[in-house]
Amino acid sequence: MVSTRAEKSVKSNSPVMNGVKETKSNSPVRNGVKEDKDLKKLKGSKASPTAPRRSSARIQALQKAEKSLAVPNAVVVKEEDKDNVKEGKGKKRSRKSGPEESLVVEEQSVLLLKKKPFTCDKDEMKVENAVGQLGDKSDTVKVKDTIRLFNKHYLQFVQEEEKRCIRAETQPKDANSPKKSSQKASKSKKGAPHVDSKKPAKRPDLKAVSKMMENNEILYSEKKIGSIPGIEVGYQFYSRAEMVAVGFHSHWLNGIDYMGQSYAKAYSFEFPIAIAIVLSGMYEDDQDNAEDVVYTGQGGHNLTGDKRQIQDQKLERGNLALKNCVEQCVPVRVIRGHDSSSSYSGKVYTYDGLYKVVNYWCETGISGFKVFKFRLRRLEGQPTLTTNQVYFTHGRVPQSIAEIRGLVCEDITGGQEDIPIPATNVVDDPPVPPSGFTYCKSLKVAKNVKLPTNAAGCKCKGSCNDPTTCACALRNGSDFPYVSRNGGRLVEAKDVVFECGPKCGCGPGCVNRTSQKGLRYRLEVFRTAKKGWAVRSWDFIPSGAPVCEYTGILARTEDMDSMLENNYIFEIDGLQTIKGLGGRERRSQDGEIPEDILNKYDDLSSESVPEFCIDAGSTGNIARFINHCCEPNLFVQCVLSTHDDLRLARVMLFAADNIPPLQELTYDYGYALDSVLGSDGKIKQMTCYCGAADCRKRLF
């Protein structure tokens, strides 16, 4: 198994691209290397069995740094924020931004903040310490890692809610049960109707960001004026909570984020000072003209969602902060929210740059109440706007075959997949389609490889619900690795995932069969200028969602050593990863993998070369076209479903991030630098063209 670079790298003396041996590509160009004699030389000699295994000290250092991602800096509520945080009840006098900002304030929705005075010197020291803990990562990567951590917490809370709902569905429905009695008593005492305990909580995102605050994991916990490092114009957030997680906008509900008097030691301004606003069309008096905005102040708004004003606004809090920006020429960050059915919050929030608050005035609004208006104008010299009113326009997804530019093949699968996969080429002249391979949807097995017999399955019926009784869940550490949301998502990367198989009593809709349900996103193979063929999705892909399996011919690794014209060999090193062999970084802790499975391989405890591999050179699926990236948006996950042999696990690619449409899909090939030797015994080098912020500049 090969994961993203922050988790482990491939350990083999033969050239490997994330478990794929690098010889000669079937495509004319792969990572800038043409299909010529140079590639044939890459596999000129077989590694000595006594040669030391590859290990990257840099990768291991980054792995340790990732574990200490937590920023040792407490998040504080300033004096001006007191009105924004209530102890779980009462209305918030705030600017509501979209349907996700409901008034449902749950147990952890208050974000568990406490007042603490701001100290500039200590704050700077804490930020420096945090950067040290994160290693030499760029600001962009720090933001990405923080969002990944948020997504992990988010899915964990989703998992808790799903288990709670299942318990509520399966509990006895005795009207005289103690639970029913207590519920009736609660209703009588509070005078409010009982909330259905089976209904999932609406805000696991708020619980996730609360946990990050408790753990001091917020990236920029102190408010900042102007741009935020690592967040460029056009950056997308998929909930307001994500903005809180990185410190881009510190309120999950309020539209105006501002600094109060507690920041006077750090800045010479008259406070409060506004630093960011969210514009999502929820105020009836707003006027959004792209680079010229008339923004309605906060307060007096009907929070039921009909956009109407119900009382006069006052020049206080956020309104006063925006007024002070006019007089002191302080720019504010503008974030636009747009409806999105694929986002778990129902919105996508795009950063559109810095705006100057030009002037302000008070007038009678549409509903007859006094409102404050603020005119904002976009500062010059910034990248072009990525939103047009409320529509995201990074790239337009084709709506039909006729709209596809550079189409060279309508479906490379030949109808094997439920969703056609087109291929496009606007690089070559004349344009050519992918060739030299046969598409295969499922794994094929070489003649000298024998698959184990089917493993004993669970005895669940219909769908697996109880992790304490499901045999497959017990193998996953007494829990299901997936949540059912969005069709099934992996909560976090593991050494191996045990799914339900042929002998299980559950049906195909079981959540523990998530990776077995085939392609669910519209993918496209497209030609690049320097990296050969690549893959992108026309659909939004949420983090943890399965993208595709790596298929081809399941063969013995030793049989591939003489194949010099194949660079699509993926070594299955799940067993080596679990045992931490060859310098590999383990994902799971001791005891998480069942002993009856691990004990089978005691005689192989010193073997760090995977025994089996997948050869996708002559036959394979969409995964063979996915390129390397030093900071990828996919990760590799070994999965066992039909048997328990770790050496023969299925290789799945999952989304590591929330991936917007038309972004190239990539995973880390896992090379350690200077680890590839040519036939002459000298170190071979290949330039990397991934373009990542922390690109290693070389593939190997």
Place of tokens 């005035």: 361
- Tell me: pLDDT of 23 over 80: no
- Tell me: pLDDT of 499 over 60: yes
| 268 vs 70 pLDDT, higher one | 268
- The Cα–Cα gap between 18 and 568 comes to 10
Per-position b or e across 352-361, b if 16+ CB within 10 A of its CB: bbbbbbeebe
Report residue 283's pLDDT band, with 50, 70 and 90 as the boundaries: low
Q: Give ∠ CA 608-610-613 in degrees, rounded to 5.
A: 165
Q: What is the mean pLDDT of the chain?
A: 76
Report pLDDT digits (tens) over 357-366: 999 999 988 8
Q: Are 344 and 485 in contact (CB under 8 A)?
A: yes
The candidate with the shortest Cα–Cα distance to 637, out of 700, 544, 568, is 544
* DSSP code of residue 80: G
Report residue 387's pLDDT band, with 50, 70 and 90 as the boundaries: low
Report residue 515's pLDDT band, with 50, 70 and 90 as the boundaries: very high
Kindly provide the residue ranges of all beta strands, DSSP E only, lying in 246-286, ordered along the sequence.
256-259, 273-279
- The Cα–Cα gap between 57 and 18 comes to 17
Please give the average per-residue pLDDT across 20-29, as a whole number: 35
Instruction: Report percent pLDDT > 90 for the chain.
Output: 47
Instruction: Report percent pLDDT > 70 for the chain.
Output: 70
Burial status of residue 232 (CB atoms within 10 A of its CB: 0-12, 13-18, 19 or more): middle
Place of tokens 């795009």: 350
Lowest mean pLDDT among 186-190, 343-347, 486-490: 186-190
Looking at 3.40.190.10, 3.30.70.1140, 2.60.40.10, 2.30.280.10, the CATH number of the domain 139-378 comes to 2.30.280.10
Q: Among 12-21, 418-427, 685-694, which range has the highest average pLDDT?
A: 418-427
Please give the average per-residue pLDDT across 188-198, as a whole number: 47
What pLDDT, on a 0 to 100 scale, did the predictor assign at position 589?
A: 67
Report residue 218's pLDDT band, with 50, 70 and 90 as the boundaries: very high
Report pLDDT digits (tens) over 565-589: 677 889 898 888 887 776 677 787 6
Give the three-state DSSP class for 63: helix
- Tell me: pLDDT of 153 over 60: yes
Report pLDDT digits (tens) over 605-663: 556 778 999 999 999 999 999 999 999 999 999 999 999 899 999 999 999 999 988 99
Please give the average per-residue pLDDT across 488-512, as a whole number: 94
Report residue 344's pLDDT band, with 50, 70 and 90 as the boundaries: confident
- Tell me: pLDDT of 372 over 50: yes
What pLDDT, on a 0 to 100 scale, did the predictor assign at position 675?
A: 72
Please give the average per-residue pLDDT across 101-129, as a whole number: 32
